[in-house]
Structures are given as C-alpha cells and as structure tokens.
Amino acid sequence: MDILSPIDIGGRTLRNRVFFAPCTRCRADEHLAPHALNALYYRQRASMGLIITEATPINSEGHGYPRTPGLYTQAQIEGWKLVTDAVHEAGGTIYCQLWHVGRVSHNAYQPAGAAPLCPSATPRKNDVLLPDWTKAPAPTPKAMTLDDIRRTIDDYGRAGRNALLAGFDGVELHGANGYLPDQFLRDGVNQRTDDYGGPIENRARFMLEAAHALVDAVGASRLGVRLSPSGVFNDMADSNPKATYGHVVQRLSDMNPAYLHITEAQESDAKHGRATIPGYEPIPASYFRPMVKCPLVTNGGFTLEKANHYLREGWADSIAFGVAAIANPDLVERFRTGAPLNTVDPSTFYGGGEKGYTDYPFLPVTR
Ligand SMILES: Cc1cc2nc3c(=O)[nH]c(=O)nc-3n(C[C@H](O)[C@H](O)[C@H](O)COP(=O)(O)O)c2cc1C
C-alpha cells in the first residue's frame, strides 16, 4: 500500500490517497459565490483522491477574509454547483470545508457592523485583513450568548444541507487553525464558566454539537473533521493539548465519521514555515492513531517519501497536500512518474485571478 493506492472513505472508493488540503484563495465573485474560474481550478486538481475545498463560511458572521466563498445563499449554492459538476465530470470527489472564523474577523465583515463572535471576549493579537485588503487591529469580540450558540449550530446544519444541494460528496467541519470550534476547545481563548467552558468535556461541546448537526444533515459517512492539535496560528494556546485533543478525537471517532483530518502543521500558512515554536511541542499523528477507528488523514510539510513512510508505518491512511497541490494540479501524475514539482508562488496565494491559480503548468502529455 502506498500513496497511489485506492482508499475507502465513507463507503466510496477513492482512486488514491493524495488529498488536496483545504486552501483559502480569496477569489470568489462580488456576491461571495464561486464562479467559472474556481470551477476550472478545482477541475484541474480532480485526479487527487479527495479535494477538500477552501474554507467556506456557513453564514455571514463566519467571514473574516476578503472574497471567501460562502454556502448560505442561493447564488453561492449555484456557484458551488459549477465546481462540483466540473470535478465530477473529471471523475473526482469533493468535500466542502465548513468554516466559521469566530474572533478572526472584524466589524467590517459583520451584519450591522457588530463585534465578531467568540466563546469569550478574548481578542487575538494579530491584525485582521479587511474586505478592502487593508489591515486593522483585531477588535474585542463578543462572548457568545446561548442563543448565539444555538443559532450558529443550526447554521452548521443548514450549510451541510446546502452542501448536498450544491452537489458535494461530503463536508469537512473546520475544527482547526484557531477558528470558532477551536476557540471553544482551547483554554487559551475559552474562559466561559457555563456548559461550554471549563473542563474539556464542556470546551468540546460546541465542536461536537456542530459535528452532530452535520451528521443529522449529511450523515456520518459524509462528514470529515479537521483538527490542529499542534497549531498556534491565530494566537492559539492550550494548557494541555494532548488531553484536550485526545478527548475530542475519541469522541469524534465514536461518531464513525468518513475521516478525521489531524494536521501536524503548526502554522496554517506555509509562509511561516514549520519550525518548532518554543514551548509548544508538535504532536505527531501517530499519537492519535490508536484513538482513531475511522480513516486518519494527516498533513503538514509532506514529501512523497515522507507520505509513503507514514502510510507504511500505519500512522495515517492518507495525506493532504496544501502548497504542493496549489502549485501542481497534476500532483498525482508527478508522484507516479517521479517528475519534479513546480515551485509555488506565495505572492499569488490570496486574491487575484488566473495567475498562480489556474496557470501552473501540467506535465507534457506523453501518451
Ligand atoms: C494559501 C493557503 C491557504 C490555506 N487555507 C486553509 C483553509 O482554508 N483551511 C484550512 O484548514 N487550512 C488552510 N491552509 C493550511 C493547509 O491546508 C495546510 O495545512 C498547510 O498548507 C500545510 O500543508 P502543506 O505543507 O502540505 O502545504 C492554507 C494554507 C495555505 C498555504
């Protein structure tokens, strides 16, 4: 078994174990809906066993970056249909990563200019990117009321149903990288004293309720969940990451989802590198392996050799590639033939058009 061998995910056989990691590209249209260029980009990458889309807000409060495509209006559902049709025509499988940024937002994104939502009124240190691409200091968020929580959980369920209407094969709950479910999980942010704060059983409640809402909407066999136990992106910290994530991984595994996606990356943005951050030891996927009964996907700085090593050791069942898949639409063919990889251009990660998006070269066709 290697990275090019098939894998069963949620009752469906995928043609290889090279997954496209979710990558925000900030290229939606002015209605925050996907369009033809986005469909071409995903279609180009359809030979990867599973495409996990860029993070996609479940409601208007879930946005925190310019031009990110949502999944809560009819125009967005129709835009995503262009994408899923294109990927399916090319024989691919595609899950939508469902997102709520929580405090990683600004009043400029929020309905009626309100403060962004967070489990507690704990601002983060870094600046926020505004809709017009300028930067501003992160505002103090509003601690969510129980009504805010119920409403948001309902919106996860609605987004799951919209994902099916849009033709997705499944959804990935974005529980990683310091966004809303992760803000609930970690005690560096969550200072609540009610049923959603304090002991880990309470801090995990929001993520598990969101996952249950998605199981109700799409079924467990169409649900993946992404976690980042080693991540410090978005000013995140936890006093005991092994215990925190050990608990949530076991509870999610009990739901028998399509897969769990546990990234080893410390920063979600490859620009910041993957050097160990002092005081925060990365936890390898192998630590969680014995707790995970469903397929386990991992990610973070993988080469072909490292990917096959992880699969052979049984530390993961498939590997998600971010930067390499952005720069190499035919990553699978390059792995198959041992061809060199294109170099990525990080200046075109976020925003813009075709450049650095749909114009990365394919290998010449030799047969
Ligand atoms: C441009 C860019 C956008 C990203 N957007 C997302 C995202 O929307 N959701 C997410 O969970 N991770 C996101 N990430 C993190 C990647 O999924 C991945 O974890 C990271 O790039 C490390 O994997 P790699 O070494 O294979 O690139 C992004 C990374 C990059 C470089």
Ligand 1 centre to CA of 175 (Å) is: 13
Q: Report which protein residue has its CA nearest ligand 1's atom 4.
A: 23
Active site residue 179: yes
Please work out whether the CB of residue 228 comes within 6 Å of at least one atom of ligand 1.
no
Ligand 1 centre to CA of 300 (Å) is: 8
| Catalytic one of 72, 179, 196, 245 | 179
Please work out whether the CB of residue 177 comes within 6 Å of at least one atom of ligand 1.
yes
Please work out whether the CB of residue 322 comes within 6 Å of at least one atom of ligand 1.
yes
CATH superfamily, domain 7-348, is Aldolase class I (3.20.20.70)
Where the chain has pLDDT below 70, the residues are: 267-281, 366-367
Ligand 1 centre to CA of 268 (Å) is: 5
User: Is-contact 251 212, C-beta < 8 A?
Assistant: no
Residue 32 CA to residue 151 CA, distance in Å, equals 21
| Predicted pLDDT of residue 267 | 63
Strands 135-137 and 142-143: unpaired
List the structure tokens of 131.
């809709």
Residue 167 CA: distances (Å) to CA of 10, 28, 170, 297: 16, 18, 9, 23
| Predicted pLDDT of residue 366 | 57
| Predicted pLDDT of residue 268 | 44
Please work out whether the CB of residue 48 comes within 6 Å of at least one atom of ligand 1.
no
| Predicted pLDDT of residue 270 | 43
| Predicted pLDDT of residue 365 | 77
Please work out whether the CB of residue 21 comes within 6 Å of at least one atom of ligand 1.
yes
End-to-end CA, the chain = 26
| Predicted pLDDT of residue 168 | 98
Domain boundaries, the chain: 7-348
E-strand ranges in 212-341 read: 223-227, 259-263, 296-299, 318-321
pTM (two decimals): 0.97
Q: Which of 1, 101, 90 is nearest to 41 (CA)?
A: 90
